[in-house]
Structure 1
Amino acid sequence: MQTLFRHGDDLIVTPFAQLLASLRNVRANLISIANIQTSDDGRHANRTTKRPPLHNTPLPENVVTCAQETLEELDWCLDQLETIQTHRSVSEMASSKFRKMLNKELSHFAESSKSGTQVSKFLITTYMDKDDDDPTIEIEVPGEGPSTSSPQLSMGLLKKAQTAAMNRISGVRKLRAPSHEGHLPEYGVACAKEVAVYMQQLNDWGPDVFKIDELSKNHALTAITYALFRERGLIKAFEIPSSVFVTYLLNLEHHYRSNPYHNHIHAADVAQSMHVLLTSPVLTEVFSDLEVMAAIFAGAIHDVDHPGFTNQYLINSNNELAIMYNDESVLEQHHLAVAFKLLQDSNCDFLCSLSKKQRLQFRKIVIDMVLATDMSKHMSLLADLKTMVEAKKVAGNNVIVLDKYNDKIQVLQSMIHLADLSNPTKPIELYRQWNSRILEEYWRQGDREKELGIEVSPMCDRGNVTIEKSQVGFIDYIVHPLYETWADLVYPDAQNILDQLEENREWYQSRIPEEPESARSENS
């Protein structure tokens, strides 16, 4: 039977934090057995556990000396472990464990109904990176055996579907010339005066970005990003030429395609969500201005030139982008290439006042963050964040100390992943609109897959989707565990987000249609 680890009233589930908890327990037992006198003050005060001694018999001097030396060694080990950075070797333990836990839960979810099977397949294929050493379970559709042959590819259609990615990255689409004369508008672009009401909500979780887009004449990304940079004092701090910055933003916006979901409005939403997450009181003094600027910029550019198809589709269809990036985070690498290619134009280089070192730091942060928006990295990101939260909890340290790059970028990567998955945490009317948009984009991909003669991806068949159940599963297995862990890190700041998430879950849960008796019996 697996040992349950607790710290106070909290159940500890990540292996690294369990290791710390176990060693602390060993330390407490040693003190109790050897009846060692310890001080309640000093750097080890938070490790002192008040337990009555097991005996009052004086121990031989050599035994007491050995016990004290052992305690000192144990304290040294705990010092090293409590300050260790969450490198892959540590976080992989948690990631592997979380994958197994999610697989088990989704197996039960799949058995509950035929629609549950499809939702489970979607969550596993989208949010779990393939680990060659830890095979993922295959969920079979009831009544169907495992596939023994792949559908015949329609090579003619495949060829037409491939994009001229090489040319687009090396040349990018023709840039729009600067159009600023004299004083810039308040939000960088001309907007209806009513937009001010909505722009005043940029510090809140869930402003109506669709309304902002309408009132800014389809320039929500430019207006919101410009406003955030100005409000945070970044334009002044880094001597950013406002007209050049707006030129860059307009060209960035121009390179977002007219997809139902992955478009400039989604980018504006993620950038604004990043801004709010960065304002958590716990994180106020953690990040430098350069890191904050890179984080908001990463949110703005993270999906530029998105074709409206998933990474797996691009790989399956032998797309030029997949060939260029060797099937590894294909879209994310393309977004970065386009965004930084735009910066090379002198009319768009708003970072012109940065030193070479600052530019390199900025670029590294943005690259590391945007690569983390690959949804297949979800379990690793969640495991890293959970390990950090629990390790600090076991160490008795409520203050977030991120003095090394690895720790800082881990939090920023989690943050952009949170922002990218934030739709279910927004007011229900916004959440429903985002949900309709992503489903339409998935369905368009499914239509294309049918044309190409390749297997239709889970959730991409417009005639075979249970919308309400898919959202409940998405919240339960992906979004809620992530936001709950983040709420532990920034406690009590994110409670309103968790409350809205729960409210939205109940909204969809109450609308799940009952499946016909025949479908339930087939699944049992």
Structure 2
Amino acid sequence: MDEWHINGPQDLVTVPQCIQNAINKKPLCSSITYACTGNHSPTPCHTHLFQFTSLSLCIPDLGNGCACRRSPLGGVCVSPRATLSDQQYQQLALDTLEELDWCLDQLETIQTHRSVSEMASNKFKRMLNRELSHLSEMSRSGNQVSEYISSTFLDKHNEVEIPSPTLKDKPMSHIIGVRKLSHSSSLSSASMPRFGVNTDYEEELAKELEDLDKWSFNIFRVAEFSNNRPLSCIMYAIFQERELLKTFRIPADTFVTYVMTLEDHYHGNVAYHNSLHAADVTQSTHVLLSTPALDAVFTDLEILAALFAAAIHDVDHPGVSNQFLINTNSELALMYNDESVLENHHLAVGFKLLHQENCDIFQNLTKRQRQSLRKLVIDMVLATDMSKHMTLLADLKTMVETKKVTSSGVLLLDHYTERIQVLKNMVHCADLSNPTKPLPLYRQWTERIMEEFFRQGDKERERGMEISAMCDKHTASVEKSQVGFIDYIVHPLWETWADLVHPDAQELLDTLEENREWYLNTMPQSPSPPPDRHLQQDRFQFELTLENLEHNNHNHICLKSGRSSRSNQKAICDDNLKIKNKKKDKHPIKTPNVDAIVTLSPEMCQTVPQPLSNVASKQCVQGRGWGSHHEAMKLWDQGQQV
């Protein structure tokens, strides 16, 4: 096994020698196989170029003198292009595409999918770090936004100072947060309310539920008319519409008992992560499951698992972040070893509640069905950990680009890894769907999340802790945080999802653009404070990846106030979230990835860096994503505080 690189030494992957020869454009047989026999022709191979998750692979055309094993076409030998008729050449193209499909199947078989996704994830992280480093220089609030995005959506393992004294020893054999409640005594199938909840506003509620299948659904009105039982009402309505109670023989009274018990374990005094948010994510997941591109793709069990995962994904949320729980040495952090603390807890509570009286909604599933459902739900809820965002996005982007090349663009999810990948991203998209909703709804969600952030900041201030990014009510910029949130996180995710289900999500992207523009236009237009040397030293330091080293060492790497820059190098970008060097090295050096925090004095920086906003391609202005924060950058460059 040898190593080869794509678009530079930073993108390394292990592949068979045969594939390496293909990438190096050596004369080879018509397909990428494990074994080739015969005399290779000295005639250079024609090549086809296809895009694969922002990485370019060169696949050789059919050459002379080869006999291939395990290829669909066997050992077909074809003359060079000059001796082929148009009909022969067209047939050659079709045969090559067929072999390309076969080739990708082999790559999946030898489990290179993870390597490709990891390369994409690492590349996305480098691009995002570069953008955030530039944003952090613009103003104090810009630095806060950058730090928040980096600390929340990038999976980093920072050193944590555990405060003392530690908590007293407590028995941890039980799942904390689970309370014994009883709703079953007053429920029966004969007396079941129309929408699963008792309310004096049944007609008004019925009117709102007519829009259950719409993305513009107003969950706030449902909460108002359902006696503040939005999750119970939404779950009952969706399960009735999809006939899941009938399909899985779930008794109606058992179902309502469980969802009411589940809803009671969401904290009403938490501003954002409460049962209203759970109901919103559940309804959004319901709509995404109904998108035409995914019609008849998922089984009833997978649909059941996705809706259940959405309903429990934040149960018993305390209103603080994972990092806060870790920093305060909380019992939950100790129980789950600092790994996806809240997500693990939500799962434990959600499944534990099934054991309460008349709450086992899965009692009539077979053992195999229960095991499959549990695995699906665990995978989906753990994927709601925002620190896993870049990995999810890279996996989804890899799938989208692969499907563009194979199967005539038809979405085929044949394996569990592919199906769960889409389901995880679906729930993740639903969890990050607020900016894609109509502006009045989006603004309410923004007010709620900022209130929750500020409450955490107050707790940190009272404890003498460092206040987390975007949690200081005295310095946080709500408008700027939303613009940055959309540009760096939400739009890249939803744009990739829209590619997967094209053209079904275009309306959502349009709404996202409109909401982004609204927040951009409401930013306070005040001059930025002058640079302060002391503040510059306190700025958040971003990870810098050393990449694309050249023989002549023309690239000077400089990090000042968390910013990376390169001389004699311009970047271009496109709407597929790719940033490439205009000038490619003919003989790039094979160098492993080096991730480090690089701190250099100003004297060591031998060149004046160019902001990415100054060299970003104009085509990015119409879209969002890394390298396309152009309008906001222009305002900053003009000395305005955005």
TM range (shorter): 0.7 to 0.9
Identity level (%):
56
Within 5 A, what are the aligned runs for 1:113-124? 113-124=139-150
Residue 188 in 1 paired to residue 190 in 2? no
1:153 touches 1:454 (CA, 8 Å); kept in 2?
no
The residue number in structure 1 matching 2:481 is 470
The one of 409, 413, 433 equivalent to 1:422 is 433
Post-superposition shift, 1:113?
2.2
**Aligned partners of 2:372, 2:160: CA distance in 1, in Å?**
45
Pairing of 1:3-22 with structure 2 (within 5 A): 12=51, 14=53, 18-19=56-57, 22=58
Q: How does the TM-score come out when normalised to structure 1? A: 0.82
- Separation in 1 of the partners of 2:522 and 2:147? 22
Which whole-Å CA distance do the structure 2 matches of 1:353 and 1:76 have between them?
42
Structure 1 letter corresponding to 2:341: V
Change (3 A) 1:262 1:152: closer
Gap change, CA 1:265 and 1:519, over 3 Å in 2? farther
The C-alpha deviation readout for 1:85-115, integer Å capped at 9, x for no partner, is 7743331111111100111111122222221
Residues 441, 74 of structure 1: CA spacing in aligned structure 2 closer, same or farther, 3 A cutoff?
closer
What is the CA–CA distance in structure 1 between the aligned matches of 2:183 and 2:146, rounded to whole Å?
Answer: 47
Task: Quickly say closer, same or farther: Cα 1:164–1:516, change in 2 above 3 A.
Answer: farther
- For the pair 1:413 / 2:416, whether they are aligned, the reply is no
Equivalent residue, structure 1, for 2:414 = 403
Select the residue among 356, 361, 371 that pairs with 1:345: 356
**1:81 deviation in Å?**
3.0
Give the alignment partner of residue 110 of structure 1, picking from 115, 136, 157: 136
Structure 1 counterpart of 2:278: 267
Q: Secondary structure at the match of 2:320?
A: coil
C-alpha contact (below 8 Å) 1:426/1:501 kept by paired residues: yes
Distance 1:379 1:456 in 2: 25
Runs of 5+ in structure 2 lacking a partner? 1-5, 9-22, 24-48, 74-78, 86-94, 537-636, 638-642
Q: Over residues 191-218 of structure 1, what are the superposed CA-to-partner deviations in whole Å (9 max), with x where a residue is unaligned?
A: 3120111111110003111110010001
Other structure's SS at 2:526 match: coil
Q: Aligned partners of 2:143, 2:419: CA distance in 1, in Å?
A: 38
Q: Contact 2:50/2:56 (CA < 8 Å) preserved in 1?
A: no
Q: Residue 282 and residue 323 in structure 1: after superposition, are their counterparts in 2 closer, same or farther (change >3 A)?
A: same
Is 1:450 aligned with 2:458?
no
Code of the residue aligned with 1:381 in structure 2: it is L
Residue 172 (structure 1) aligned with residue 178 (structure 2): yes
CA distance in 2, matches of 1:71, 1:279: 32
Alignment pair present for 1:510 and 2:548: no
Q: Does 1:305 align with 2:312?
A: no
Conserved 8 A contact 1:151-1:454: no
Shift of residue 425, structure 1, vs aligned partner? 0.4
1:434 aligns with 2:442: no
Q: 2:369 aligns with which of 358, 372, 378?
A: 358
User: Do the aligned residues in 1 keep the contact of 2:101 with 2:406 (CA within 8 Å)?
Assistant: no
* Aligned residue number for residue 262 of structure 2: 252
Asked if the contact 1:98/1:383 (under 8 Å) is kept, the reply is yes
Cα distance, 1:84 vs. partner? 7.2
1:173 partner letter: R
**Where does residue 214 of structure 1 map in the other structure?**
224
In structure 1, how many angstroms separate the alpha carbons of the residues matched to 2:441 and 2:482? 14
In the TM superposition, what is the alpha-carbon distance from 1:394 to its structure 2 partner?
2.2
> Whole-Å Cα distance in 2 between the matches of residues 196 and 75 of structure 1?
50
1:290 aligned to which of 290, 301, 307: 301
Tell me if the contact between 1:115 and 1:466 (Cα under 8 Å) persists in the aligned partners.
yes
Partner of 2:155: 129
- Give CA-to-partner distance per residue, 1:318-351, whole Å, 9 cap, x none: 0100000000000000000001110012410111
- Counterpart code for 1:172: V
The equivalent residue for 1:61 is none
Answer 1 or 2: which has greater strand percent.
2
Q: Cα distance 1:131–1:18, how it changes in 2: closer, same or farther (>3 A)?
A: farther
State the AA in 2 paired with 1:475.
Answer: I
Which one is further off, 79-88 or 345-354? Answer: 79-88
- What displacement does 1:220 show? 0.3
Residue among 96, 106, 109 paired with 2:122: 96
Moved more, 370-379 or 105-114: 105-114
Aligned to 1:18, what secondary structure does the other structure show? strand
Measure, in 2, the Cα distance between the counterparts of 1:393 and 1:290. Answer: 28
Q: 1:393 to 1:451 in 2, by over 3 A?
A: same
> For residues 411 and 420 of structure 1, what CA distance do their matches in structure 2 show?
14
Whole-angstrom distance in 2 between the partners of 1:188 and 1:75: 49
Cα distance between partner residues in 2 of 1:286 and 1:270: 21
Instruction: Output the amino acid matched with 1:169.
Output: I
Distance (Å, rounded) in 2 between the aligned partners of 1:297 and 1:150: 34
Task: Note if contact 1:127-1:379 (Cα within 8 Å) is conserved in structure 2.
Answer: yes
Measure the CA separation in 2 of the matches of 1:445 and 1:95.
30
How far does the alpha carbon of each residue in 1:213-261 deviate from its partner, in whole angstroms, 9 at most, with x for none?
A: 0100010000001110110010110111000000000000000012000
Residue in 1 that maps onto 2:586: none
Whether the aligned pair in 2 keeps the contact of 1:94 and 1:383 (CA below 8 Å) is: yes
Counterpart selection for 2:103 from 64, 71, 77: 77
Change (3 A) 1:163 1:450: farther
Deviations, residues 477-513 of structure 1 (Å, cap 9, x unaligned): 0000000000000000001110110010010011111
Partner of 2:32: none
> CA 1:472–1:351 in 2, change beyond 3 Å: closer, same or farther?
same
Secondary structure of the corresponding residue to residue 259 of structure 2: helix
1:309-324 pair list within 5 angstroms:
309-324=320-335
Residues 194 and 114 (structure 1), Cα distance of their counterparts in 2 relative to 1, 3 Å cut: same
> SS at the partner of 2:409?
coil
5+ residue gaps, structure 1, are: 37-41, 45-51, 59-68, 133-148
1:169 counterpart SS class: coil
Q: How has the CA–CA distance of structure 1 residues 428 and 351 changed in structure 2, closer, same or farther, with 3 Å as cutoff?
A: same
CA displacement at 1:14 relative to structure 2: 2.2
Structure 1 pair 232–519 and aligned structure 2 pair: CA distance change class (3 A): farther
Number of the residue aligned with 1:202? 212
Is the CA contact (8 Å cut-off) linking 1:86 and 1:388 kept in structure 2? no
Residue 201 of structure 1 aligns with an amino acid whose one-letter code is D
The 2-side partners of 1:366 and 1:298 are apart by 5
Mean CA deviation greater in 264-273 or 512-521: 512-521
Question: Taking structure 1 as reference, are residues 115 and 440 closer, same or farther at Cα in structure 2, changes over 3 Å only?
Answer: same
Code of the residue aligned with 2:416 in structure 1: it is Y
Match of 1:65 in 2: none
Matches of 2:419 and 2:459 in 1, distance apart? 40
Q: What CA distance in whole angstroms lies between the structure 2 residues aligned with 1:429 and 1:487?
A: 23
- Residue 53 of structure 1 deviates from its aligned partner by 5.8
Cα distance in structure 1, aligned partners of 2:522 and 2:169: 40
Confirm or deny: 8 A CA contact 1:82 1:392 kept in the other structure: no
Which letter maps to 1:194? E
CA distance in 2, matches of 1:387, 1:173: 43
Tell me, in whole angstroms, the C-alpha distance in 2 between the residues paired with 1:418 and 1:183: 37
> Which residue is 2:504 aligned to?
493
- State whether residues 247 and 348 of structure 1, in contact with CA within 8 Å, keep that contact through their aligned partners in structure 2: yes
| 1:365-380 mapped onto 2 (5 Å cutoff) | 365-380=376-391
TM-score using structure 2 length: 0.68
CA deviation map 1:392-417 (0-9, x unaligned): 11225311111211111000000010
More contact order relative to length (CA 8 Å, sep ≥ 6): 1
